[in-house]
């Protein structure tokens, strides 16, 4: 999905099983996001258990839906294992701000009541 992070266009995978939105190190750098070890964690991913540093994105937007001060993880390794031209995973730290559903390949986001 095309996602805007701090004004920078990125290509991300929607991952409803991811607690936080995760960015590759290079994507975070492009968006001006500085990772902190104080907000990091050991996480289990498809690539095994890895260390990810934590940070905040000032703004994340998918289409008309946007959220501010979004918690993100930043992978420190140069390779993400996410696939070619993929900048990260769009997780619940963003999606949790909305009611969301996916039907017939269409992701729908609506404001929480």
pLDDT at 78: 59
DSSP-assigned states of every residue in 52-74: EEEEEEEEEEETTEEEEEEEEEE
> Domain ranges in the chain?
2-111
Average pLDDT per block of 10 residues along the chain, 113 residues long: 97 92 94 86 76 93 95 77 86 94 86 81
Predicted confidence at residue 39, as pLDDT, reads: 77
Alpha helices, DSSP H, located in the chain: 25-30, 92-95
Q: Which residue has the tokens 């936080």?
A: 20
> What was the pLDDT predicted at 112?
86
User: pTM for the full model?
Assistant: 0.87
Query: Are 23 and 70 a contacting pair, CB within 8 Å?
Result: no
Which pLDDT value is given to residue 43?
Answer: 80
pLDDT reported for residue 24: 92
CATH number at 2-111: 2.40.70.10
């Amino acid at each position: 999905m095309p996602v805007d992070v701090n004004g920078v266009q990125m290509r991300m995978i929607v991952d409803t099983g991811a607690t936080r939105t995760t960015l590759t190190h290079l994507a975070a750098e492009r968006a001006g996001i500085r990772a902190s070890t104080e907000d990091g964690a050991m996480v289990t991913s498809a690539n095994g258990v890895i260390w990810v540093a934590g940070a905040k994105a000032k703004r994340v937007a998918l289409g008309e839906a946007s959220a501010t001060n979004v918690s993100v993880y930043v992978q420190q390794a140069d390779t993400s294992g996410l696939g070619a031209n993929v900048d990260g995973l769009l997780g619940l730290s963003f999606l949790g701000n909305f009611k969301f559903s996916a039907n017939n390949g269409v992701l729908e986001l609506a404001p929480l009541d």
